[in-house]
Structure 1
């Protein structure tokens, strides 16, 4: 397994699972505790609620990726970048700062002015993204899925008609198709793979996400670290019949399983508890050793 150096932070086999905490400067983002438009308040949150509780990486989102909202243009994302930049200037503690963006021009501006890495939820749909990240020697997370700036992770070319029960997994090709999209990525030497948990496609089922977690070790075949974002996701909430606010225990169980099955980075809003679960998964797993 290739170890990726993210601005001095090694990610991969032989290193602890890394925790990516989340800050949003987008008012439309659904998780209120992580949303800020004031850089001073945002920096305090990063220092006290993310880094102090164990976040190695802070991922700052400029827009909500929820498909209910209109996709912002690169220019609209750039208009929000100043708040993010002022925030990291005010943070006192040390962490790696990641910018979540689908646009190469936004990534270039962020990396030029203090950010360390990129979280690209559109998996290099902007063809300039790999070159920008390589030119800055920056690590980049590429989410699996067909290259589409408007519809990240939306895999449609699957035989969905075969879905009749949660036991469809043995004959489904969803995860195989997801893996195939990663094979097509124009990856850099510092690419981290994200298996795209969540409702990115209208036809994707909760069982798809469960099967992705079952087969998570398969994503390691690309010789790249794996990032998992499952915090309070619907496929876990459905199993335990809990609403989003009550899904932390399910998320922690999922986190331990994900790390045991090979995840190198866990993206979360619940940093302290997730760190503990990740360390348990790492201690008793064998895939990442």
Structure 2
């Protein structure tokens, strides 16, 4: 039997019909759904016609992530303690600089800090476990020593690195290989019980941009994430602890990236919170005519706002202060501004 996919057509307007359903107890609602099959034209159906299990997946409130409720947008600030990341490599690879930057990101509005010790940019080479641990664990420990109470995510593909980060005070795992690079990662997730983000990538950083191809990028990525979530569940990881990331820029062309961003609401059918990581990426520079990665904040904000309109809960960004300002304005416009004394 041909598989059917359900993409809620999300809206934000305050003029909302009584028949509308709320997406994941968040800020978007929908009363229509795009029904998609691989070998047929899409069809629009009323949300009331959804199968009960799909309706539950779409509407059930998402579990908190590292203590953060998912009924409002969350900003994940990027801290690369690497010499070779694509836009900020070498800026924060010394412990004092990394700690100072983490404090800046918290003050700028980061809800979560994502620390990575291995670049996964296109063409990047693998870093040894020992080197990655030496880059990340001391920074996490130093932050906890200065009472840094913002949740910390460890951005790694390796179980030993993840384990050391958790021992040092990390609260979340972010695996860009969705448990494929190191199968032992699933045990770390299961034993620790912390949230884990599973991301789609086609190929390894060394070769992922050589010639990425898909039958249907939106549906292929959905199927992959559905399979990886099922594998994690089979190993005892609670679906409520899983975040899904379509992996923009990881083995995708510019057109693949745009197709995924247009169709982001499909991924809510996985029943997990979603993470979007597009900050400063090459396609933003190409479309936005910004060759320098550090000049891509306006384009990054534009994509973030598109993600918010499709209900994405977590947004992984470099330019935290600027993105946080944009999100606050978006929130005030779409949901109202209630701060006492506000104009």
* TM-score, structure 1 normalization: 0.82
Residue 52 of structure 1: SS of its match in structure 2?
A: helix
Aligned to 1:165: none
Aligned to 2:280: 232
1:175 to 212, 215, 218: 218
CA separation of 1:233 and 1:69: change in aligned 2, threshold 3 A: closer
How do 1:5-24 and structure 2 match up within 5 A?
A: 5-10=64-69, 12=70, 15-24=71-80
2:244 to 188, 193, 201: 193
How do 1:1-289 and structure 2 match up within 5 A?
A: 1=24, 2-10=61-69, 12=70, 15-32=71-88, 35-47=91-103, 49-125=104-180, 126-145=182-201, 156=212, 158-159=214-215, 173-185=216-228, 186-187=231-232, 188-189=237-238, 190-198=241-249, 200-201=250-251, 204-243=252-291, 244-282=293-331
Cα deviation, residue 155, structure 1: 9.2
CA separation of 1:69 and 1:33: change in aligned 2, threshold 3 A: closer
Aligned to 2:5: none
* TM-score, structure 2 normalization: 0.70
1:44, 1:91 within 8 Å by CA — same for their partners in 2? Answer: no
CA distance in 2, matches of 1:95, 1:154: 38
CA distance in 2, matches of 1:215, 1:6: 23
Higher relative contact order (CA 8 A, sep 6+): 1
User: Which sections of structure 2, spanning at least 5 residues, go unmatched?
Assistant: 1-23, 25-60, 336-343
Per-residue CA deviations over 1:110-161 (Å, capped at 9, x if unaligned) read 11221111111111112222221121120111102468697679995625xx
Per-residue CA deviations over 1:167-186 (Å, capped at 9, x if unaligned) read xxxxxx11111111111112
Residue 43 of structure 1: SS of its match in structure 2?
A: helix
Residue 32 of structure 1: SS of its match in structure 2?
A: coil
CA distance in 2, matches of 1:154, 1:123: 21
User: Which sections of structure 1, spanning at least 5 residues, go unmatched?
Assistant: 160-172
CA distance in 1, matches of 2:227, 2:134: 32
In the alignment of these two chains, the number of paired residues is 266
2:75, 2:317 within 8 Å by CA — same for their partners in 1? Answer: yes
Tell which structure's C-alpha radius of gyration is larger.
Answer: 2
1:102, 1:120 within 8 Å by CA — same for their partners in 2? Answer: yes
CA distance in 1, matches of 2:122, 2:157: 14
CA separation of 1:6 and 1:178: change in aligned 2, threshold 3 A: same
2:82, 2:89 within 8 Å by CA — same for their partners in 1? Answer: no
CA distance in 2, matches of 1:147, 1:134: 25
Aligned to 1:170: none
CA distance in 2, matches of 1:90, 1:37: 19
